Amino acid sequence: MCRVVDLKQAVLAKNDSAAHSLRTELTARGTTVVNLLSSPGSGKTALLERELGLARERGVAVAALTADLATENDALRLARSGVPVKQVLTDGLCHLEAHMLGRHLDGWMPEDTRLLFVENVGNLVCPASYDLGESLRVVLASVTEGEDKPLKYPTAFGLAQLVVVTKTDIAQAVEFDEDAFRAHVQQVNPGVEVVLTSARRGDGLGILLDRALAVGAGGAVHAPVMAQQPPAHHHHHAEGPLHDHAEGPLHGQAAAHDHDHGPGHDHAPGHHHAPGAGHGPGHGHGTGPESGPGHTGPGSVTRAVHPHSGVVPTR
């Protein structure tokens, strides 16, 4: 078991190192990365499509990378906005990792990209513990998911720098209690902004884009209390014994997570930032139905399948 724990810690330490280098590199070239996390079916693709279209109308150089276990459905939808889009198939992995993102951006993302939206795998557990080198972490929840969602997934919501509520056009029909939801968000992440949106009606459209642009311009970003906790934080993990969390996903955050992975996937429970190491070099990839090799023009979809990178437990 000690060997397994060591491997897990090494995986997340390596991820944080890659995230640090990727953030430094992208910031230097003027690119702001926005990491979008949510449950499946939250409506983040619909909202992101509208935000991408608005960005293009405003003349903002923007691109999007979307990750799923299977299908190119989300990428095809996002490509309708007319911006470069890349679909990453994770081959069963329940989250993106920093080195994966770095490899997929190399040779694909246009040099003048000002904003990169990363639509993470639909999951509020695994992605919460992985820093992707983002400058803004956004967690989305639809009105259909229940007001107690922030309490059920305290790490995801506790490390968010912006919380977005989606599908507010049906809030009354599903009896969504906005006050209760806001109270629960503040309980796990005091001071974080909560934005109400409806992709269908256009309510709140442009707020996500404005917040991302403000961060890219050097504006202040919310600092979650969870991110400021002491580095040695003990949490119970479904896969094994108590473990230590050092610095977490948002440059100095203590990540906490309680989850159970599916077959064949096992990753590190605790991690810290280690400076220096960069992300891996680019690699070849296949192309989707709307693009040729290396094509990143408006509305293009590039497809890449990433090998599973989970740690295999040592027995």
Tell me, letter by letter, the H, E, C secondary structure of 165-186: EECHHHCCCCCCCHHHHHHHHH
278, pLDDT greater than 50: no
Give, as one character, the DSSP assignment of residue 143.
G
pLDDT surpasses 80 at 108:
yes
| CB 110, CB 116: distance < 8 Å | no
Lowest mean pLDDT among 16-20, 127-131, 177-181, 229-233: 229-233
Question: CA-CA distance, 266 to 257, in Å (whole number)?
Answer: 13
Higher per-residue confidence, 311 vs 3: 3
d(CA 62, CA 112): 9
pLDDT at 290 over 50: no
Q: What are the counts of helices (DSSP H) followed by strands (DSSP E) for the chain?
A: 8, 12
Token pair of 195 as six digits: 């934005």
pLDDT at 153: 98
pTM of the model: 0.74
The confidence score (pLDDT) of residue 230 equals 54
Q: In terms of C-beta density within 10 A (0-12 exposed, 13-18 middle, 19 or more buried), how is residue 82 classed?
A: middle
* 19 strand-pairing partners: none
Closest CA to 114 of 86, 80, 83: 83
Amino acid at 139: V
Q: Are strands 194-196 and 162-166 parallel, antiparallel or unpaired?
A: parallel
Token couple for 75: 């990428």
What is the rounded average pLDDT of the residues 296-303? 64
